[in-house]
Amino acid sequence: MSATVNAKRVAFIGLGAMGQPMAQHLISAGFEVFGFDLSPDARQTLAKAGGHAVEAMPDAMKDADYVITMLPNGKTVRDALLTGNACGGLKPNALVIDMSSSAPNDTRELGVELATRGLRLVDAPVSGGVKRAVSGTLTIMAGGVQTDIEEAEPLLKSVGSQVFKTGPVGSGHAMKAINNFVSGAGVLAAIEAVVLGRSFGLEPHTIVDILNSSSGKNNATDVKMKQFILSETFGSGFALGLMAKDIRIAADLAKTLGLRLEALASTADAWDAAQKELGPAEDHTRIIRYVMDHA
């Protein structure tokens, strides 16, 4: 990465469990990072890592070449950028990179609105959770104009090991929702398999071992069942409410496109019901408790 690129100013909005290590990787890569979060502790952590912590969002974006948002949903992203014209202090033609999980059609609308303000948008949600955010090995799905994605790549490659170009603005968020549908469906399938097998008399660890040596292997059986679910540590670092939100985005997208996808609809309903019963802040692996209560 060139010294000229490294000198570019980056506003990083959202210094949570994912955003904090991502912002620190950008600092390590040589970018000048101005970070904002509602949490004073999060801002202080960024400052200790060599970033510039600011107490007002517009101050983070003032004269920035790039804005990265890592926030809970698209509404929060929109509010962060547009409320009080917070993005008005950005450099002309600045590039906004939304790495949150948002509804793809809302992202398209945001892209149009930002364009009227002379700004560009790339949606670049991530997969890999807190562990891979810390290691800088996230998978990134980037939607936008080809040249904008190419411009964003030095930043994206500072926080991720793989960057996939998915198509126009909104396509990255569509892909993220699709990915989390498959992930969430896999979690439910693995848990229900264990509940079924244990009811018959099979030992849960044996069930998981056999699944992982057979065609039933998936991400949940490989990295979640023993590690977080059977151990009852429930520490994957990804909230139940966020999983439910992403799967519902996928289900809503299917409806918008006139598709009747029954597995997607039932998966979205199950995660919605689980978050209402257990609470959205619970780790998503705790959904086993919902499954067992309703088995």
Give me the numbers of helices (H) and strands (E) for the chain, helices first please.
14, 9
91 labelled catalytic: no
Q: Give the three-class secondary structure for 198.
A: helix
Beta bridge pairs of residue 120: 95
Residues 6+ apart with CB under 8 A from 269: none
Burial class (CB in 10 A: 0-12, 13-18, 19+), 167: middle
Q: Dig out the tokens for 22 from the structure.
A: 């991502």
Side chain identity at residue 259, one-letter code: L
Of the listed 131, 165, 176, 217, which one is catalytic? 176
Q: Give the three-class secondary structure for 145.
A: coil
Q: Dig out the tokens for 28 from the structure.
A: 């390590």
Q: What is the DSSP string of 2-26?
A: -HHHHTSEEEEE--STTHHHHHHHH
Which of the residues are catalytic?
Answer: 176
